[in-house]
């Protein structure tokens, strides 16, 4: 079969693989993606896209106008995580940086955002090279700070839809622990809403040998962590989905000193607004009650500092896009997947513009030896490194080619045909 204008050629694959390895080896934390943004802008420049940098901070926007027709927004994120890489790859990251609190941390592309950015660069290149095949406008959005759930809002607040063409549809994708080359999809709510709260507990410090003279925030925090586990099991109806996770607990400096403060970082995942409100209220109630039970002389502090909405795929638009994938890749490479309790802020773009969104997943992991039916049902995934793991790194091929072509096929589905 003859190659299509949006097939990824061997020469382009090699260039993109080098670009990916470079991004992977030089990760940058959220809101610090200066080098990454520069590399993306440099890659887009020769394609004919009009490139604008520093949108919403470090965001990059490329616009390619090609006559009358629909406007399609293609989105990729490009920030990394404070994770120490343990993949053993020759292009593994050894980068360290200061996080937003000033702490020295390792940095790694542990969520595949380097692959997202690379695939969008590739898709932009193919679309620019095949303008005779389509009409309309492509807006390529490279978003910072997805991991802080603020990058999309920052770009919108910086005039994304006033300064650049407003889209008719938003398309985005995420690499993950599916078999490399496969595409997974869902319709309706596909990823949960997320809220994060930073809690500070107050007690009374003292010597470890005289706990009776102190108000122990370590014990207070431990009781809070234990009690929070009852929210989902005892307060959320069984038919609803919710997750409450304490991912950070910090207290004290020495083993014989009872600290006067303790801090907890808590995240929640929900799909329903009423359940979201229930979980948030329960967290605050439990924290305050445990502080009171411990005799705390000061109320706890709550900083609800991060939030991402439920990511909703427009059913009709999703059906059309997935049908195009099936035609291009073959039905055998397309599979429905369950709702994902992780969260994303990509939905902010479609919601803010008042247009439909379609978001899909594609595989980047070698699942050799595992039963595909187990993967579809969500089993077997725990046997391979997944996103946010220090061992997670997508297989470059066929992951790269699939991601590039999926983005182009999706864009072509919604762009117009030449007159």
pLDDT tens string 200-233: 999 999 999 999 999 999 999 999 999 999 999 9
Band of pLDDT at residue 11, cut at 50, 70 and 90: confident
Instruction: Tell me the pLDDT of the chain averaged across its residues.
Output: 94
If you ran DSSP here, which 8-state letter would residue 241 be given?
Answer: -
Full set of structural domains in the chain with CATH? 10-191+310-414 (3.40.630.10), 193-308 (3.30.70.360)
> How far apart, in whole angstroms, are the C-alpha atoms of residue 261 and residue 97?
27
Instruction: For residue 190, give the 3-state DSSP assignment.
Output: strand
Would you state the pLDDT for residue 1? 40
Contact 386, 392 (CB under 8 A): yes
Give dist(CA 257, CA 98) in Å, integer. 28
Q: What pLDDT, in 10s, does the model give residues 243-291?
A: 999 999 999 999 999 999 999 999 999 999 999 999 999 999 999 999 9
255: exposed, middle or buried (Cβ count in 10 Å: 0-12, 13-18, 19+): exposed
CA distances from 141 to 56, 149, 351, 405 (A): 11, 16, 15, 17
Integer Cα distance of 156 and 145 in angstroms:
13
Q: What CA–CA distance (Å, rounded) separates 97 from 28?
A: 8
Q: 1-10, 16-25, 33-42: which range is least confident on average?
A: 1-10
| Sequential DSSP letters for 88-109 | --TT----EEE-TTS-EEE-B-
Neighbours of 36 (CB within 10 A): 25
Cis peptide leading into 154, omega within 30 of 0? no
Q: Is 87 in a helix, a strand, or coil? A: coil
Which DSSP letter does residue 227 get?
H
Burial of 326 (0-12, 13-18, 19+ CB in 10 A): middle
Q: From the CB of residue 294, how many other CB atoms can be counted at a distance below 10 Å?
A: 20
For residues 301 and 219, give the distance between their C-alpha atoms in angstroms, rounded to a whole number.
17
Q: Is the dihedral of CA 81, 301, 346, 41 positive or negative?
A: negative
The SS3 call for residue 153 is helix
Residue 365 has pLDDT above 60, yes or no: yes
Residue in 341, 384, 343 with CA at minimum distance from that of residue 365: 384
How far is 403 from 120, CA to CA, in rounded Å?
8
**Of 185, 271, 279, 267, the residue nearest 232 (C-alpha):** 279
Cα angle vertex 55, ends 54, 59, to 5°?
A: 75
- Three-class SS of residue 379? coil
- Three-class secondary structure of residue 410 per DSSP: helix
DSSP-based three-state secondary structure for 340 = strand
Is the pLDDT score of 50 beyond 90?
yes
Handedness of CA 246, 250, 256, 260 (dihedral sign): negative
Strands 188-191 and 357-365 turn out to be: unpaired
Q: What is the mean pLDDT of residues 72-92?
A: 98
The pLDDT of residue 149 is above 60: yes
Its pTM stands at: 0.90
What's CA 125's distance to the chain center, in Å?
24
pLDDT tens readout for residues 93-129: 999 999 988 999 999 999 999 999 999 999 999 999 9
Q: What region does 67 belong to: left with phi over 0, alpha with psi -120 to 50, or beta? A: left
Identify which of 329, 318, 328, 388 has the alpha carbon closest to the alpha carbon of residue 358.
318
Task: Provide CB contacts within 8 A for 212, sequence distance 6+.
Answer: none
Q: Which helix (H) or strand (E) holds 268?
A: strand 261-270
């Amino acid at each position: 079969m003859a190659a299509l204008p949006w097939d990824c050629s061997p020469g382009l694959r090699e260039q993109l693989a080098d670009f990916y390895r470079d991004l992977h080896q030089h990760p940058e934390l959220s809101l610090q993606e200066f080098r990454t943004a520069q590399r993306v802008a440099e890659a887009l420049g020769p394609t004919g896209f009009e490139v604008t940098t520093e949108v919403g901070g470090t965001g990059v926007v490329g616009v390619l106008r090609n006559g009358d027709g629909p406007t399609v927004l293609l989105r990729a994120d490009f920030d990394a995580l404070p994770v120490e890489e343990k993949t053993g790859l020759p292009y593994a990251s050894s980068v360290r940086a200061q996080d937003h609190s000033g702490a020295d941390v390792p940095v790694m592309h542990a969520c595949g955002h380097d692959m997202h950015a690379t695939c969008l660069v590739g898709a932009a290149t193919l679309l620019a090279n095949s303008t005779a095949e389509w009409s309309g406008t492509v807006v390529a959005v490279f978003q910072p700070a997805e991991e802080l759930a603020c990058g999309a809002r920052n770009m919108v607040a910086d005039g994304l839809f006033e300064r650049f063409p407003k889209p008719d549809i938003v398309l985005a994708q995420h690499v993950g622990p599916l078999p490399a080359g496969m595409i997974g999809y869902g319709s309706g709510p596909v990823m949960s809403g997320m809220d994060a709260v930073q809690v500070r507990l107050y007690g009374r410090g003292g010597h470890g040998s005289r706990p009776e003279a102190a108000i122990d925030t370590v014990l207070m925090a431990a009781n809070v962590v234990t009690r929070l586990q009852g929210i989902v099991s005892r307060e959320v109806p069984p038919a609803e989905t919710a997750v409450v996770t304490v991912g950070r607990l910090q207290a004290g400096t020495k083993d014989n000193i009872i600290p006067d403060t303790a801090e907890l970082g808590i995240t929640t995942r929900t799909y329903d607004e009423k359940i979201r409100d229930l979980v948030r209220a329960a967290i605050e109630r439990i924290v305050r009650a445990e502080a009171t039970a411990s005799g705390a002389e000061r109320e706890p502090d709550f900083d609800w500092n991060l939030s991402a909405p439920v990511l909703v795929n427009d059913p009709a638009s999703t059906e059309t896009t997935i049908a195009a994938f099936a035609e291009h890749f073959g039905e055998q490479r397309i599979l429905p997947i369950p709702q994902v309790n992780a969260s994303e802020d990509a939905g902010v773009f479609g919601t803010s513009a008042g247009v439909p969104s379609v978001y899909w997943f594609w595989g980047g992991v070698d699942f050799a030896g595992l039963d595909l039916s187990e993967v579809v049902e969500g089993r077997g995934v725990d046997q391979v490194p997944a996103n946010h793991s220090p061992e997670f790194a997508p297989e470059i091929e066929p992951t790269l080619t699939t991601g590039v072509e999926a983005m182009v096929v999706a864009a072509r589905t919604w762009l117009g045909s030449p007159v």
